[in-house]
């Protein structure tokens, strides 16, 4: 079974803090993704990575950065947390396909509260 | 641009009732993929099905069935004889084959199955 793990289920941080969210997958997937989930908005893509050290912006990259130093690990960084970044953060991974899309496998999510 | 609409925000049924979750999509591509995911209260999205645009055959998996109709751009999901364990948020998603890192999710439908 594909397993995607995230470092924390719940996190409370103060405004202005630097926040690291870690994600690890064990299925040798090339693609990794970070989404945020907010009520009524579904999932919105923040960043994705298709290879080590490669990254692409999603729909809402502002205020976030990412790091992928190893294939299995994809980190989301909030440089200076703000209250509007309070949300559920979901990490996902998938195989890479040419002209076809593989399903994504998700981690359990990190519910981040910024006070 | 691709878009997924799940018009039903919340549905409540009594156990053993059948329920259909609607999904309508928009895309300009002729090759695309549609997905359904389940998010139980634990938070982790679980992949249910992937369907490509060239395969309009309906699919049945146990109590779950999917009705894909290109003519109406819909990919509806039916649960037969619902059970309490089916209570979850269900997401429909779309990915265009040549931009396959961009998966668009609907806002989700929260299904509550009461005993």
Q: Smallest Cβ distance to A109: which of B43, B96, B105?
A: B43
Give B22-59 pLDDT, tens digit per residue: 999 999 988 899 999 999 988 889 999 999 898 888 88
**Interface contact flag, B43 A40, Cβ < 8 Å:** no
Cβ distance B24 to B77 under 8 Å? no
A40 phi/psi in degrees, rounded to 5: 80, -5
**Chain B residues in contact with A108 (beta carbon < 8 A):** 42-44
Give A37-93 pLDDT, tens digit per residue: 998 888 999 999 989 999 999 999 999 999 999 999 999 999 999 999 999 999 999
Q: What is the 3-state secondary structure (H, E, C) of B64-77?
A: EEEEEEHHHCEEEE
Query: In whole angstroms, what is the distance from residue A87 CA to residue B71 CA?
Result: 37
Cβ distance A85 to A78 under 8 Å? yes
pLDDT at A14: 97
Whether A31 has its CB under 8 Å from any CB of chain B: the answer is: yes
pLDDT at A103: 86
**Chain A residues in contact with B4 (beta carbon < 8 A):** 42
Return the residue in A37, A40, A42 with the most chain B beta carbons within 10 A, the one to mutate for interface testing: A42
- Rounded to a whole number, what is the distance in angstroms from the first to the last CA of chain B? 41
Q: Smallest Cβ distance to B91: which of A42, A88, A107?
A: A42
């Amino acid at each position: 079974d594909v397993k995607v793990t995230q470092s924390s289920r719940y996190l409370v941080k103060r405004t202005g803090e630097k926040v690291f969210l870690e994600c690890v997958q064990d299925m040798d997937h090339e693609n990794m993704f970070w989404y945020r989930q907010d009520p009524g908005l579904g999932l919105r893509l923040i960043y994705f990575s298709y290879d080590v050290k490669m990254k692409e912006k999603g729909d809402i990259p502002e205020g976030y950065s990412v790091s992928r130093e190893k294939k299995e690990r994809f980190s989301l960084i909030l440089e200076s947390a703000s209250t509007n970044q309070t949300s559920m953060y979901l990490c996902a991974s998938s195989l890479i396909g040419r002209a076809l899309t593989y399903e994504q496998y998700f981690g359990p999510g990190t519910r981040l509260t910024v006070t | 641009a691709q878009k997924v609409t799940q018009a039903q925000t919340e549905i409540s049924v009594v156990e053993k009732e059948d329920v259909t979750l609607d999904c309508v999509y928009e895309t300009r591509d002729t090759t695309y993929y549609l997905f359904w995911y389940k998010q139980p209260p634990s938070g982790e999205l679980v992949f249910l099905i992937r369907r490509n645009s060239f395969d309009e055959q309906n699919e049945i998996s146990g109590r779950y069935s999917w009705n894909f109709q290109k003519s109406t751009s819909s990919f509806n999901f039916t649960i037969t004889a619902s059970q309490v364990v089916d209570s979850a948020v269900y997401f429909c998603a779309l990915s265009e084959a040549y931009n396959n890192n961009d998966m668009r999710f609907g806002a989700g439908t929260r299904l509550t199955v009461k005993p």
